[in-house]
Every structure is written in C-alpha cells, then in structure tokens.
Amino acid sequence: MGWRIFFSLLFIIVVIGLLVFYWFIPTRTTEFIPRGPINSNFSLSNSVAIDMQFYPNMRYPSRIITYKIYNCSLQKKNDMERAFEILSNKTILKFNPAENEEISVTCDNKVKMEEGLFIAGEGGPTKIVQTDLFNVILKGKVLLIRDSSCPNPNIAIHELLHALGFDHSENKNNIMYPVSKCEQTIGDDTIALINELYKTPTYPDLSFENVSAVLNGRYLKAEISVKNDGLIVSKEGKIFIYADDDLENTFDLKPLDIGAGLKMTLENVWISRRNPEKLKFVIDYDFEELDKNNNEIILEVSH
C-alpha cells in the first residue's frame, strides 16, 4: 500500500514539473511584426506620393468653396455637413452653402454593385480648366449612396476628397482606399498637400504667350498672345508698346477667364522713334497678380 502511495505522489510531482517546464521554460523565440502599414498616409512608403490626385495641382479657385445639398435624407445631409466641417478643421479650406455652388451633393437610395462590392458613393471634378500653374476645378460633384455606419462620416469624406481631385490610395488605413472601413483616417500628407495647394492666393496671372513684330519704316505690325494663367477672371488692363524707352502706343486689354487666351494683330502702328534697337511690350495691370514678372517682353533688332 505504501509503495502505491509513493508512486502516485511521484507521478503527480513529475506531471507538475512537466507543466511548470512547459509554461515557464522558453523553448523557442517568436518574433512579432506590425500588422499592415503603420501610418495612414496616402502612400505605403515613406516617400512623398506624387500621384495623389487625378491630375497634378488640382484645386478650386479659392480656398472658400461653395456647395449645395440636394434631396438627401437627414442622416446623409448631416454626414456631408460633418465631412465639410472635419476637412475645414484640418486644413485651410472653408466650405459655405450657396445657390450657384461649386460642389453639388446629391443622394441615391438604389443599391449599386461593382466588381462584387457595394458602391458607397461617387465623387469627382466635373469641370476643369488647365493653366500653366494648376488644374483648376470649377465644378465638382458628390453622390452619396450608402449611409455611413461609422462614428465619423468616412463615406462623405472619401467622396469629398474625390471632388477635391484626390484619387484612390493603395493604403488600407487611408480614407481614400477603395473599400471603406471605420478605422480609416485622412493621412497627414493629404492635409499637407491641400494646404500647400491653397496657400496660393486667388489672383489672376496675365502673361505674354508669344509676341512677334516687324517694323516697315515707321509702321509696326505685331502679333501678340496674352493668357490668364491665374485662379480668377482678370479685369481690364492695357498693353503698352515702347520703342527703346519711349512709349509709342497703348491698347486696351479685355478681361480674360481662367485659362483663356487672347490673340491680337496690330497693323500700321506708327512708331515715332527712328530705327529703334528694341521694342518692349508691357501688360499694365493695376491689380494683384500671382506673378508680375511675366508682364513684360523685349524684342531686339535682328542683325
């Protein structure tokens, strides 16, 4: 009987010892790595994403952007207004309701599918003017299809960023990823790019595209091209023509739309100065511009 008790106790001690060894004595090393990207920026790498937008340097003319919401349910309307507020708080942009809006917001209750996925919304620029400096968005749209079940209105923010010119991201943590999840956020690089684009003030920018001239005796024939590469319609200005340093003639310059150009053909313009060495053409514009340095061009005598 005593031996049975002895072996039973010995068995229990061995089992306890094996359990202690299993739980507390290290037998292997396990290395853990971060799950997925460690940031929510647009790019998966640390490099600056140069293709964040559909086209380079897309922006509206002003950092104060107007909108109007059409026939949306109360939740979708609230989601859209919160999206405007969130982006206003994170950037230098401001969004104001208006009748002649730049961003039109509509809603749809129909279920839409694409490649086996439910479509939550659609958005993007609908009218763009290309200038030398920017791809200027004149009109944009947002279509909200599905209600957002997230604490933040991620679907509305996603589509609003599309309307601001931003494309999809490959980063699953970024709010511009094609499939929406509640934990996605706006990347710091997106905010930085918006602030960089919209720090340029809303001014016109008149410049000469091309000027050619021929002087027959004292009569000048000139071809002049002027363009507005700015962010707003220009006001009336003038073009001054100098022979050497003498003002010879003045011509009116009509207002130009964003990205619009004007070609002028001048014939039989009397030049009082005999045999000038140079002709100077100057855009005289008394209002603020993005760049005043491109308002002058000098032509010299061809020898």
- CATH code, domain carrying 252: 2.60.40.10
Last residue in a domain, options 165, 197, 229? 197
Please report the pLDDT score of residue 45 as a whole number: 66
Q: What is the DSSP letter of 288?
A: -
- Section 249-270 average pLDDT: 95
Q: Would you place residue 95 in the very low, low, confident or very high pLDDT band (cuts 50, 70, 90)?
A: very high
Please report the pLDDT score of residue 3 as a whole number: 62
Measured between alpha carbons, how far apart are the two ends of the chain, in Å?
128
| Domain membership flag for residue 34 | no
Please report the pLDDT score of residue 144 as a whole number: 92
| Domain membership flag for residue 24 | no
| Domain membership flag for residue 240 | yes
d(CA 153, CA 173) in angstroms, rounded, equals 15
* Token representation of residue 153: 């209105």
Give me the number of domains the chain comprises.
2
pTM of structure: 0.81
d(CA 226, CA 182) in angstroms, rounded, equals 50
Closest CA to 61 of 90, 99, 103, 97: 103
Please report the pLDDT score of residue 79 as a whole number: 95
Chain-wide mean pLDDT for the chain?
A: 87
- Residue 74 and residue 193 in one domain: yes
Residues 122-168 pLDDT 10s: 899 999 999 999 999 999 999 998 777 889 999 999 999 999 999 99
- Residue 104 and residue 193 in one domain: yes
Q: Is a pLDDT exceeding 60 seen at residue 31?
A: no
| Domain membership flag for residue 108 | yes
Task: Provide the domain limits for residue 158.
Answer: 58-197
Q: Is a pLDDT exceeding 80 seen at residue 7?
A: no
| Domain membership flag for residue 45 | no
Last residue in a domain, options 141, 167, 197? 197
* Token representation of residue 86: 């969130």
Q: Is a pLDDT exceeding 90 seen at residue 121?
A: no
Please report the pLDDT score of residue 200 as a whole number: 97
**Are 195 and 94 within 8 A, CB to CB?**
no
What does the DSSP assignment read for 157-226?
A: HHHHHHHTTB---S-TTBTTSSS--TT-B--HHHHHHHHHHTTS-S---EEEEEEEEEEETTEEEEEEEE
Last residue in a domain, options 197, 215, 232? 197
Characterize 187-206 residue by residue with b for buried, 16 or more Cβ atoms within 10 angstroms of its Cβ, and e for exposed.
Answer: bebbbebbeebbebeeebbb
- Residue 187 and residue 75 in one domain: yes
- Section 173-183 average pLDDT: 92
Please report the pLDDT score of residue 80 as a whole number: 96
